Structure 1
């Protein structure tokens, strides 16, 4: 019986030890869970890589479309109305300045000229008669009392009136003669006839809206392009350019800036540039489309940041600066992109540190305390 009581006491002791061990393990496990939860609730360090603002003035290249145009282009009209009597050129003919292109006929113009010429001769005879009469009276007036002063004045007035009438008649004759010259249509400059719109016998002149010819200068062309507004401050005097045209594959042509419009176009906010292109061989054609490469450079250095540092949002474009442990959002406008850099304009200085990978989740103001934040300046 004593042996049975001893065994029961040992069993109770073992059970008590097991229960204590289980409680101890549960307590340790609860502490580990609380410790893990505390670690999870502790904020993670914030890593903001930054880079300085670069104040540089690099040369950059852009490619823009352009158009080749004749240096001079004109519609040739008849100044007076007449029938086409003769045509001396056709489409594609090359002509020299002053070369005769066509002759019009207007018989009434010749008759008007002959009438004016006849009137001029008559008035001239009247003028000569009045002049001779006045000169005779002047000679006679040298004898005292031979000619009254009023007679001398009357003769002088008649002579001057005849002279004025003669001058007017002579001007009328010159006008008729000049109109007759307009019957001859000549080339205003060296070029090529691009269109011939009339035939012999057609009525041409001021009563028709159709030009006799269209002609253009082909040995010199204008290369015209529209430069976007953000590049206009990089335009330099005599700036070189290279261009290609689809009609001459694999061939590159050179040109220098000749003139600009001086003002931005209000429709597309661009500056028109013109390059004079010499074309003595005629290998280039007016009307060709070209692709132009320009090497541009600002007149002064500007701020550049890494392209991935620019934050584009619905409210605008920004960069984030980091000074100490304070984040600040700076509004900027983008300029030129060059490789991994982007030109920006805003309230920035060379001393600013720009966060390389910004996001809208980064708020302005203080970051986490230095003990729990890690700031990396690169």
Structure 2
């Protein structure tokens, strides 16, 4: 009887051990499954190298192709005005005449002096030529007489040419009393009346003239778009006084210099305005179609994380997350241009999130 109880105890203990072992195995398998499910599964995408055209809207300003204030070079009184605001003028056209008696008197004086000195020069030249001819005969004229005549001729010649230069300067000053148009255009302002004293210390211009048959459309291109502007860049623009009407212009000038204050580059487009439908001074809403000079990298906008710590994308390397700081370029629909330490071979999370820390383990979705 005792031996039967011992055998029963052994069998019972064995069954308990087997059941315990089975229970332990199932528990370990469950833990392993939980650990595997804790690693997030992510979808990745590689950056796309592309060079797409893109639109850029900017404000611009229309300016006359040429504009200048016309001042009097000589001091005098306005004697006559031939144009007024709005007058169309041609280059060299007479705009006004000034009156300055002292200038006219000075011109007459130097002109009279020039004539007198010219007569002296002619007399000295004739006298020298006669003596020179006579000196060709031995002993007819003393050498000292010929030298004296030659010196007198040189003196009178110098005096005459000096007077001639003075007459020219005085004539130029007298010509300053005639105010002419420096180029063809429109008188946009007249600031004086007949009888007004102008010139020298008077800083008020007589007229302002502008060339509006052709206009300059000036636009400031932000720094990050500066290299996208080429000689073939075209502009379409609208102005507020002609809603719905679109105008076109081609690039004519690019300063190529980055303004240190605005961080922009000034460019100009020439606008044909022979029909005078546009006015200088108007503001315009300009649309440019630009293109990067080289291919750049693009990602879905959802890949970019903008956090307080900065802007970055999440790169997966050997199953671990790496945060790559990036700078943003242009955005086209759902795609974002990015600049940073990445290539077209990298694996980037398609949907970036701030919750994934640097070094976090992830599984790439198959």
1:8-87 superposed matches below 5 A: 42=35, 44-87=38-81
- Tell me the alpha carbon deviations over residues 64-88 of structure 1, each in whole angstroms, 9 at most, x when there is no partner: 1100000000001000000001111
- Tell me the alpha carbon deviations over residues 72-106 of structure 1, each in whole angstroms, 9 at most, x when there is no partner: 00001000000001111111111111111111100
How far has the Cα of 1:312 moved from its partner?
Answer: 2.0
Q: 2:296 aligns with which of 288, 292, 302?
A: 302
Q: Is the 8 A contact 1:66 1:290 kept in 2?
A: yes
How far has the Cα of 1:323 moved from its partner?
Answer: 2.3
Q: 1:272 to 1:82 in 2, by over 3 A?
A: same
Q: Is the 8 A contact 1:102 1:184 kept in 2?
A: yes
- Tell me the alpha carbon deviations over residues 235-276 of structure 1, each in whole angstroms, 9 at most, x when there is no partner: 111311111111111111111000111111111111111000
Structure-1 separation of matches of 2:326 and 2:198: 62
Partner of 2:196: 202
Partner of 1:361: 355
Structure-1 separation of matches of 2:223 and 2:331: 15
Q: 2:219 aligns with which of 225, 233, 240?
A: 225
Gaps of 5+ in 1: 1-30, 368-372
* SS of equivalent residue, structure 1 residue 113: helix
Q: Which of the two has higher C-alpha Rg?
A: 1
Q: Is the 8 A contact 2:58 2:286 kept in 1?
A: yes
Structure-2 separation of matches of 1:288 and 1:267: 24
How far has the Cα of 1:327 moved from its partner?
Answer: 1.4
- Tell me the alpha carbon deviations over residues 20-78 of structure 1, each in whole angstroms, 9 at most, x when there is no partner: xxxxxxxxxxx9xx99x969975623022211100011111111110000000000100
Structure-2 separation of matches of 1:362 and 1:199: 78
- Tell me the alpha carbon deviations over residues 190-232 of structure 1, each in whole angstroms, 9 at most, x when there is no partner: 1111111111100011121100011111100000000111111
Structure-2 separation of matches of 1:179 and 1:289: 42
* SS of equivalent residue, structure 2 residue 256: coil
* SS of equivalent residue, structure 2 residue 117: helix
Q: Is the 8 A contact 2:319 2:363 kept in 1?
A: no
1:1-378 superposed matches below 5 A: 42=35, 44-365=38-359, 367=361, 374-376=363-365
How far has the Cα of 1:153 moved from its partner?
Answer: 2.0
Structure-2 separation of matches of 1:154 and 1:327: 106
Partner of 2:4: none
Structure-1 separation of matches of 2:225 and 2:85: 41
- Tell me the alpha carbon deviations over residues 286-341 of structure 1, each in whole angstroms, 9 at most, x when there is no partner: 01111111111111111111112112233332111112302112121111111111
User: What's the TM-score, normalizing by structure 1?
Assistant: 0.86
Structure-2 separation of matches of 1:38 and 1:347: 39
- Tell me the alpha carbon deviations over residues 121-140 of structure 1, each in whole angstroms, 9 at most, x when there is no partner: 11111111111111111011
Structure-2 separation of matches of 1:366 and 1:191: 71
RMSD, aligned CA: 1.9
